[in-house]
Every structure is written in structure tokens, then in C-alpha cells.
Amino acid sequence: MPDLSEAIRAALLTGDKRGKVMATRALVRDWRRDALPTGFSASMPDHPAWPDGLEVLPPGKMPKRGKGGSHRNRIALWHSLAHIEFVAIDLALDIVGRFGAEMGKDFVADFLAVAADEAMHFALIDRHLATMGATYGDLPVHAGLWLSAQETAHDAGARLAVVPMVLEARGLDVTPGTLARVESQGDLRGAQILQRILDDEIRHVAAGARHFDVFCRTHGKEPKNHWKMLVNRHFKGVLRPPFNDSARLAAGLSRDLYETVV
């Protein structure tokens, strides 16, 4: 019988979009039912598989996305969101397979739940794209999110500091504005999807913050100072306001944590 890490590796190496969603849902369900033993015999791939034909460009080469309500701009927005959520599935699976043995069962349970959420988010967005006559893979994407995973593949603390506590936290900042714009265009279903994602992402960031604190206590690190050091060392972007302070606080990120990194 395969163990959890083998199932995760297989899901990561599934490029078909529906196949990755289904594999993720199945392994989370099987683990929760004790039908998939907790084991970490398999190594994680350096890069997950993505759909055949997906055009991946350097971040700086991506075409500019308009902010108006034209059909083309709406498709570009939702395609971008689909890619974020698709890569988020891989990020959540990878953090479990790569660091689960070190971090323990609560960590595994929390980030498998994140993986299941991200699979659901992607499926919702891809179905919404279909109502516009589009699908994930129609437009080019970039690999910036996964580059952050590669940068932090050696260190559970660095991965937690950068991925949930910076990248996902940024989603808390920008999603309300996107939601308002989508709602103003009369896309009520899209607004409902974004609200669901926002609510879930608060829990995801909270999981990252909670387990980062556990990591720091285990390794004798002061959390705020260690987080700032790791972000300065491993995050290639810049933390820019405005910040959604209320959502960040609900996720366990106080302003004094991130304001001095700006």
C-alpha cells in the first residue's frame, strides 16, 4: 500500500487539471479515513506537472492585464486566479510531503485541508471560466509562485514564512478589491466564489502563522525576528501596502510583524 508521501508525489506529478484535483481530493479523503498510512518514504519533485501545452513565461514577460469589464479582461482576470489556485494545490501538497515528517500530524492535517480547499477553489474558478467560453490553459502564465517554493525547499520555517505568511497573506489584501470590481460588473457568482476564497485563505494564513510559531519554539527562535530575517533572505518581491489589517489580524498576523519589512 502506498503511503501519504507517495500519494502526494503522484498528485504533484499529475499535470491534467481535473486529474490533479481528483487525486488531491482522493488522497485527503483516504488519509482522513485512515486508508492511507502516514509515511514519508517518497521524495518530492523539484517541479510539479502542469497541463500539457500551458505556456509558462517569465514574470516580467507576462502581457499586461486590463482592469476594465470587457469580456477579454474578465477572462484574463479569472485565468490568472485559476493559475494561482492551481499552483496553490501543489504548494499545499508539497509542504506536507516535504516537511510533514519534521512538523508532525497537526501540520499534516492542517495543510492537507488547505490542499483540499485549493482544489475546490480551482474547480470553482475553472467552471466559472467555462461560462465565459474559456478554460485554464488558454492564456500564458508565470511560475513566480513555484519559484518561491523552490527557494524555500530546504527549510520548513522559510517555506511557512514566505508562502502562507507572505504570498497567501497578500491575497487577503487584494481579494476584497477584486471582489468589489467583479460585483460591480454584475458577476454575482464570481463575487460569491471570491468571498469563499477570502474566507478560506484567512484560515490558510492562520495555519501558516500557527505552525511557524511552533517551528520557532522548537528551534529556539524568536518568531518576529526570525520571520523578518527569512522574508528578507528568501522573498524576492517587496511587501507593499495597503494591507488588509483586519483580515491579517484574524489570521494571526499583527501589523507590528510586517510593517518594518515594508
Question: What are the backbone angles phi and psi of residue 142, rounded to the nearest 5°?
Answer: -125, 165
**What pLDDT score was predicted for residue 256?**
87
Q: Among 93-102, 114-123, 232-241, 244-253, where is mean pLDDT lowest?
A: 232-241
pLDDT at 63: 77
141 strand-pairing partners: 56
- Predicted pLDDT of residue 262: 52
Q: Band of the pLDDT at 124, cuts 50, 70, 90?
A: very high
Determine the pLDDT at residue 261.
66
Res 258 pLDDT > 90: no
With 0-12 / 13-18 / 19 or more C-beta atoms within 10 angstroms meaning exposed / middle / buried, residue 201 is buried
Other CB atoms within 10 A of residue 19 CB: 14
Tens digit of pLDDT for each residue in 8-39?
999 999 999 999 999 999 999 999 999 999 99
Which alpha helices (DSSP H) does 104-167 contain, by range? Answer: 105-130, 144-151, 156-162
162-181 average pLDDT score: 96
Q: Which residue has the cell 481535473?
A: 18
Cα–Cα distance measured from residue 109 to residue 67, given in angstroms and rounded to the nearest whole number = 38
Phi-psi region of 34 (alpha: psi -120 to 50; beta: other; left: phi over 0): left
> Model pTM?
0.96
Backbone angles phi, psi at 65, to 5 degrees: -100, 125
Q: Please state whether the peptide bond connecting residue 242 to the residue before it is cis, i.e. omega within 30 degrees of 0.
A: yes
Distance in angstroms (rounded) separating the CA atoms of residues 16 and 5: 20
Phi/psi class of residue 53: alpha, beta or left (left: φ > 0; alpha: ψ in -120 to 50)?
left
Q: Which residues does 122 contact at the CB level (< 8 Å), separation at least 6?
A: 17, 21, 82, 85, 86, 88, 89, 136
What percent of the chain is predicted at pLDDT more than 70?
Answer: 97
Query: Domain map of the chain by residue range?
Result: 4-44+63-261
- So what's the pLDDT on residue 87? 98
DSSP type of residue 64: P
d(CA 32, CA 42) in angstroms, rounded, equals 20
Q: How many Å separate Cα 244 from the centre of its chain? A: 18
Which DSSP helix (H) or strand (E) runs through 195? Answer: helix 188-219
Answer whether residue 253 shows pLDDT above 70: yes
Cell readout for 91 is: 504548494
Q: What is the mean pLDDT of residues 151-161?
A: 97
